[in-house]
Amino acid sequence: MSNVQIHPTAIVDPKAELGTGTTVGPYCVIGRDVMLGENSWLQHHVTLCGPMRAGARNKFYAYCSIGQQTQDLKYRGEPTYLEIGNENTFREFVTVHRGTRGGGGVTGPTSAVGGDPGRLSHSPSGVSLGGS
Nearest CA to 58 out of 68, 48, 50 is that of: 48
Per-residue model confidence as pLDDT tens digits over 53-76: 999 999 999 999 999 998 888 888
| DSSP 8-state code for residue 16 | -
- Interior angle at CA 93, CA 83 and CA 65, nearest 5: 40
| DSSP 8-state code for residue 12 | E
Q: Is the peptide bond before 51 cis (omega within 30 degrees of 0)?
A: yes
Q: Looking at the whole model, is its pTM more than 0.85?
A: no
For the four alpha carbons of 7, 43, 69 and 53, in that order, the dihedral sign comes to negative
| Angstrom distance (rounded) from CA 27 to CA 37 | 20
Q: What mean pLDDT, rounded, does the chain reach?
A: 84
Query: What percentage of the chain reaches a pLDDT higher than 70?
Result: 76
Domain count, the chain: 1
Q: What CATH number corresponds to the domain at position 110?
A: 2.160.10.10
Q: What is the SS3 assignment for 131?
A: coil
CB atoms closer than 10 angstroms to residue 62: 16
- One-letter identity of residue 61: Y
Residue range of the domain that includes 60:
5-129
